[in-house]
Chain A
Amino acid sequence: MTAMRLSLVCMVFVSLLVRLVAIPAQGADVNVYAKTDRNRVAMNQPFAVTIYAEGTRADMEPKLPDLKAAGFELLDGPRMGQNTTITNGAVEMNVNATYYVRAMKSGNLTIPAFSVAIGDKTYATEPLPIVVSDKPASDEPDVSDKLVPEIEVDKTTPVVGECVNLVQRIRVSTQVQFRGNLSPEALPTTGFVEKPIDKDWVRRREQRGRVVFDVFEKRSVLIPIHDGDAAIGPLVVNGAVTDRRRGRAADPFFGDMNSIFDDMMGPSIPIKAESKPITLSVSPLPAEGRPARFAGAVGDFSMNAAVSPTTVAAGDPVTLTVTISGKGDVESLAMPKVPSIPDTRVYDPDRKVQLTPNAPTLEGTVTFSQAIVPASAGKLAIPALSFAFFDPDASPPRYRTAEAGPFEVTVTPAAKGSGGLVSALPSGAGSSGDIAILGKDLLPLRSSSPVFVAIGRSGDLDGATLALLATAPALYVAGLLVRRRTDRLRSDPAFARALRAGKVARDRFAELRKRSTSVADLSGDVSKTLTEYLGDKLGVPAPSFIGAEAGERLRKKGIDDTLATEIVDCLEACDRSRFGGGATGGGTSLVDVAEKLVDSVEKSKR
């Protein structure tokens, strides 16, 4: 039975596989329509408009109508999706695009038709009517003081590139039973680069008066990328609560029981809460006092630098290590430019960033390691490095410069045979544009003749693979049928006899034709062979077909009237020849007749 089940599972799996692959990218009958998730909304209340294309899995490109003219504002979207349902083996597929909008005015409004391009065809949805009231929708549960999203920043007038600490916070009253998980939407932070401090939401408990809240917080740092007003938020949180209005009316005796029942079984309705957005006024970096080498770093930094080793042979590398630490966007800091040093080659620096764990803001250390290769013996003088940055927390905020160096390295003459590195370098040495990194470089090229394959075909699910996948379980099912037949032949003698009856009867008729005997004896043998055949084939004792009731028995076993009559006539003819005497030739014709009857029974019972 287990094997049967597995074979069934395999068949279903392969069937699904074949069906899914066989679904046309664009079906012949594509049905495109739009739906809203509610027919009545309040002004400014977000709702969803979804465009469905049924009967296709091709990419859909909806064209947004002029929503503003119709009194709506687009909040988000399109969010593309696909659905596949398999009902009784029939695969139904649709692609959909959801837009989140809100109405900007009240009244009976109409969402204009969307134009949807699928493949080379264009479809249009029907316009959707929607009633917009100027009061909060009555079916919206009031959770304004139970689910409170907030955003908080530590400064509202940063300069471009300054780190602004942002806290997203969601207070959730423990008095409300929310259905499922609350899902905060990604916070719109237009005009900023956002760098997370907390990977996940951090939970704590807080009591305000008599109400206990679960407070979820997530910290990040925002870095303004241009000056002017820049908006953050709102923080939008979606969730669902039980729809108590659809439950029973308040019951003075079983009110609490109803409430529990509703909590467990009642329908849920979606709710949405959003924080107030925050607008920051971002100032440009002041032009006054800007150092010539300022490269955009904003924060409070310190710099250290060292050279190692201080004595090298010509052609060997010296490593200049520069460490910049502090508060600010250390990840985007560039190495202070090393002034041009004659007779050396300077390579691109390696860069490692280490952020301070559990710091309240973005801070850490960036370490640059740069290889400098002197070409000739003598004193290698590396000039002082300077790193300019704007410190917004200084009083007053101003540009500052950190300096390190200068450094001096003693370069000894190259040992014989080891000076090839510099002398082999191409002309133009001293530039830092090359990629080669000393000590760590690309591994050698592959020069052996490759085996090429067509682009994009590797690993595809092709027809041959599908055929192989379908063949394997088909063979198993065939084997299963063979096995069941063999088992039945062994365990069910009647079945085995019925299966072999035709062949046995024909063999015997062939023998009778060869035998030279009297008509009476031959007729007896024909009658015996025919009744034994019928007995084996129909699973009843052979003597049942002798006598007046033979015809009725044959009909009961499913032999049609004409054939049953012919069999009875044949058996009677045999009896007449056997007991009434007759010519020798008549016996042979009886054999022919009987054999034809056997053939007819075999055909009818196949």
Chain B
Amino acid sequence: MKLPFAITVALALAHPSARSAEPGELFAKGVAAYGEKRYEDAAKSFEDVRGLGVESAELDYDLGSAYYRLGDVGRAIVAFRRAEKFAPRDPDLRENLAMALDRATERLPESGDLPWQKAFTAWRRSLSLGEEKALFVAAWTLAAAILLASLFVWRTPLRRVGLLVGVMAVVLGVSYLTRLHDEKTRPIAVVLDPKVEVRTGPGEDYSVHFLLHAGAELRVEETQGEWSKVSVSADRKGWLRASTIEKV
């Protein structure tokens, strides 16, 4: 048990930023650099904070803004999308993300064609994964508590309410678990390079299937060595170099 801890400490100390500053100080340094229009320094400071293994909505929002100012639309979208995971209803963030996405040539298509699918997707996007989990756990616990109470008082009405909340909890649970599964197994990534050739197989020997540009969002289906299999839509799948994209 001591060895991994020692390694962790050693690695943390070896990190150049960790030696000199705390996340809060680095963050403030980045904000100051941004205020002075030193966007590269600002982005570096914010990246250094992430290098310490921490993140937050504010950090990723600011990092996205710095990259946007530098004209790096791919990294800006990655950072804004990361911030969106924490603060999906933040109007400023939505505005900035929309501006960054406007500069991207390709867009990840909306999932679902039916109105209820669109409504469900919109509802889901308004919640972070953590909020969805909290809702699921709360509904689950509430359902159990109400059903427990229904054993002793107001049996019939409480049982009905408990069952209703229970059904809601199961729906929320399925929604949360599928989203968690998707984020773990098919994460969204963003193209960083100005132009990326998507090939029919994992290697330069395969022919180019289609092109993507900086800021294009896609899903990573699998990774084999230096190559990742990605999908932009149901009929737009292919392989590209993993280094040309960054997972959200």
Contacts and interface: CB of A to CB of B under 8 A. Distances in A.
Interface in A264-321: none
B152 interface: yes
B32 to A, nearest CB: 9
Nearest to B72: A435
B86 A458 contact: yes
Contacts, number: 143
A442 interface: yes
Interface string B57-84: 1110110010011110000000000000
Contact of A448 (B58, B95, B224): B58
Contacts of A479: 148, 151-152
A455 interface: yes
A453 B236 CA distance: 35
Given A435-B69, A459-B180, A465 B137 contact: yes
Contacts of B133: 459, 461, 465
Interface in A451-507: 451-455, 458-461, 465, 468-469, 472-473, 475-476, 479-480, 482-483
Contacts of A518: none
A459 B148 CA distance: 28
A509 to B, nearest CB: 36
Given A17-B177, A461-B180, A479-B151, 14 more contacts: A3-B147, A10-B143, A61-B224, A80-B222, A445-B61, A445-B62, A447-B31, A449-B24, A451-B56, A454-B55, A459-B128, A459-B132, A468-B137, A473-B144
Contacts of A192: 210
B53 A483 contact: no
Which 4 pairs from chain A and chain B are nearest by CB?
Answer: A459-B129, A472-B144, A452-B54, A450-B56
A191 interface: yes
A468 B141 contact: yes
A331 B104 CA distance: 12
Nearest to A446: B58
Contact of B237 (A186, A332, A468): A186
A458 B130 contact: yes
Given A80-B221, A452-B54, A459-B180, A193 B166 contact: no
A458 B85 contact: yes
Scoring A2, A3, A186 by chain B CB atoms within 10 A of each residue's CB, the highest score goes to A3
Given A61-B224, A194-B210, A450-B57, A442 B99 contact: yes
Contacts of B137: 465, 468-469
A459 B56 contact: no
Contact of B50 (A455, A461, A482): A455
Contacts of A459: 85, 128-130, 132-133, 180, 183
Nearest to B42: A445
Nearest to B160: A2
Contact of A453 (B49, B55, B95, B177): B55
B17 interface: no
A453 B96 contact: no
Interface string A402-440: 000000000000000000000000100000010110001
24 contacts: A188-B209, A191-B208, A225-B208, A433-B71, A435-B70, A440-B99, A445-B62, A448-B58, A449-B24, A450-B57, A450-B59, A451-B56, A452-B23, A452-B49, A452-B56, A453-B54, A454-B55, A459-B133, A461-B177, A461-B180, A465-B133, A469-B137, A472-B140, A479-B151
Given A450-B57, A455-B53, A13 B173 contact: yes
A177 interface: no
A458 B129 contact: yes
Contact of A188 (B130, B140, B200): B200
Contacts of A80: 221-222
Interface string B115-134: 00000000000001110110
A540 interface: no
A353 to B, nearest CB: 10
Contacts of A444: 92
A448 to B, nearest CB: 7
A59 interface: yes
Interface in B126-183: 128-130, 132-133, 137, 140-141, 143-145, 147-148, 150-152, 159, 162-163, 166, 170, 173, 177, 180, 183
B96 A190 contact: no
Given A440-B99, A442-B99, A452-B23, A193 B222 contact: no
A435 B151 contact: no
B207 interface: yes
A454 B132 CA distance: 19
B55 A6 contact: no
Contacts of A450: 27, 56-59
A376 interface: no
A115 interface: no
Nearest to B65: A442
Contacts of A454: 53-55
Contacts of B132: 459
A588 interface: no
B21 interface: no
A133 interface: no
Contacts of B145: 472
B59 A452 contact: yes
Nearest to B70: A435
Contacts of A332: 105
A449 to B, nearest CB: 6
B210 A458 contact: no
Given A13-B170, A476-B148, A193 B69 contact: no
A511 B78 CA distance: 82
A458 B92 contact: no
B226 interface: no
A189 interface: yes
A7 interface: yes
A443 interface: yes
B46 to A, nearest CB: 10
A189 B209 CA distance: 6
Contacts of B69: 435-436, 442
Contact of A455 (B27, B54, B92): B54
A187 to B, nearest CB: 8
A445 B27 contact: no
Given A193-B210, A452-B56, A472-B144, A446 B62 contact: yes
A192 B129 CA distance: 38
A486 to B, nearest CB: 9
Nearest to A185: B235
Contacts of A435: 68-71
A192 B200 CA distance: 12
Given A2-B163, A458-B130, A445 B23 contact: no
Nearest to B67: A435
A594 B144 CA distance: 47
Contacts of A2: 159, 163
Contacts of B200: 188, 190
Interface string A51-71: 000000001010000000000
Contact of A190 (B53, B140, B183, B209): B209
Contacts of A472: 140-141, 143-145
A459 B159 CA distance: 30
B11 interface: no
A447 B34 CA distance: 10
A186 B148 CA distance: 53
Contacts of A443: 92, 95-96
A290 B30 CA distance: 48
Nearest to B213: A332
Nearest to A62: B224
Contacts of A186: 235-237
